[in-house]
Amino acid sequence: MSLRRPLSFFASLLLLGGCGTETLEEGAGPRQSRAALHTGMDLAVAGLGVTCAEGQVATVTGTIVNEAPTGIDPSVAGIYAGDPAEGGTLLATVNVPWLVGKERYAFETAVQVPDGTQKLFVVADHVDFFPEDSEENNTGSLTLAAGGGCLVNQAPVALCKDVTVPANASCGATASIDNGSYDPDGFPQPLSITASPAGQYPVGTTPVTLTVSDGMDSASCSATVTVVDDAAPVAGASKNLVLARTLGADYKTVTLADCAQPAVDTCGGTLDLQQSASILRVESDESEDALFSLALFKCQDIKLSADRKSAQLRAESSLLGNGRVYTMVYSVADASGNATIGTCKVKVPSLQGLISVGVGPVYCQGEGCPANTGGGLLCPLL
């Protein structure tokens, strides 16, 4: 007596329908036409595994799943050495009983694995008896070790992490997002690790994909490489501008570009001081009320512009001195906000034409002025 249940009423109708005449559209095969019926049938393979005995004997385990909400009649699954779509060899079959909607059928079947087999495939309804809505989930596979045999290759594990590194002299950086990727069994080949994109990364954040492979299986993960420009620019040298001494101690407008050479930055190249810099303060090595003639002195020898890109400096020097030296102290920053302090000098010769090297600040205007460099004693009296 057979223990198999009779075919469901719906399956019986489908089989009976095959006895009639079916008109196929030009270029369409019978399987395509069946799929177009939308039968509500859907078998799937899940949870495959394999254990090994002596020799080439393997026990394949897995589950055949009725993904549909309604029942389906008994079916037959096939276990293949190699992809059946490419001529794989049928090793064994699994008789799957009648399944109610969403029911799972676990199986365990021993097979003899041929030499050289790299993959085992399990195909639900391997003879295509049922016209399923989807055939894409009917097949599952297991990868075996190099050279075939029962031993299963364990896929490598890709582990990634976000990294942040400083830019080098080329305004880029090399970095690795690998966070300890590994191959559990160390074969069939040494683990290879590649990154895409690879090589030098520019300033900013770059998405990177890491791929690891043991020669048979591979895995990948993604992270970011952030390259930070943390190097301050190098201030340019002083131009040592000389202002001609005037009898009326006239103001002369001096810009940063007049006073100093451009700054140089690793990533920004040559920096225009009028765009990238600002004056912090201007110091003078002579007092504000120094006499520039026998009976005259002027006040407010230094006036900073509102945008701190220039200053008005009096073209005067002390009557009894060896010349005046103004020192501009400025800050120059690159596009990443890294800043450095630079200085440059503007000189006014003495009455006798001497040019001083400077003796330190006595008078100062701006921010961060040294102590005791305020206005002269006479200027507040005016």
Task: Put residue 137 in one of left, alpha, beta given phi > 0 → left and psi -120 to 50 → alpha.
Answer: alpha
- Give 325-355 pLDDT, tens digit per residue: 999 999 999 999 999 999 999 999 998 999 9
List the one residue out of 48, 52, 212, 46 whose CA is nearest residue 145.
Answer: 52
The CATH number of 241-375 is 2.60.40
List the one residue out of 328, 330, 326 whose CA is nearest residue 359.
Answer: 326
Q: Is the pLDDT of residue 71 over 90?
A: yes
Task: Put residue 203 in one of left, alpha, beta given phi > 0 → left and psi -120 to 50 → alpha.
Answer: beta
Binning pLDDT at 50, 70 and 90, where does residue 53 land?
low
- pTM for the predicted model, two decimal places: 0.58
Instruction: In whole angstroms, give the CA distance from residue 43 to residue 222.
Output: 34
pLDDT at 159: 97
pLDDT at 30: 35
Average pLDDT over residues 247-258: 94
Question: Are the CB atoms for 286 and 315 separated by under 8 Å?
Answer: no
Question: Are the CB atoms for 347 and 312 separated by under 8 Å?
Answer: no
- Check the CA dihedral 276-281-282-285 and report its sign: negative
pLDDT at 359: 85
pLDDT at 140: 93
DSSP string, 167-230: --TTSEE----BS--B-SS--SS--EEEEES-SPEESEEEEEEEEEE-SS-EEEEEEEEEEE--
Q: What share of the chain is helix, strand, coil (3-state, %, to 5)?
A: 10, 40, 50
Q: Is the pLDDT of residue 153 over 80?
A: no
DSSP 3-state of 11: helix
Q: The tokens of 338 are what?
A: 């890294």
Average pLDDT over residues 127-150: 81
pLDDT at 136: 87
Q: Which helix (H) or strand (E) holds 323?
A: none
Binning pLDDT at 50, 70 and 90, where does residue 292 land?
confident
Q: Which helix (H) or strand (E) holds 276?
A: helix 273-276
CATH entry, 9-21+41-143, from 2.60.40.10, 1.10.260.40, 1.10.3720.10, 1.20.120.430? 2.60.40.10
Question: Are the CB atoms for 206 and 224 separated by under 8 Å?
Answer: yes
Q: Is the pLDDT of residue 223 over 50?
A: yes
Instruction: In whole angstroms, give the CA distance from residue 11 to residue 266.
Output: 75
pLDDT at 37: 58
Range with the poorest average pLDDT among 45-54, 198-207, 293-302: 293-302
List the one residue out of 58, 143, 148 whose CA is nearest residue 108.
Answer: 58
Question: Are the CB atoms for 101 and 66 separated by under 8 Å?
Answer: yes
Q: Is the pLDDT of residue 376 over 80?
A: no
Q: Is the pLDDT of residue 21 over 50?
A: no
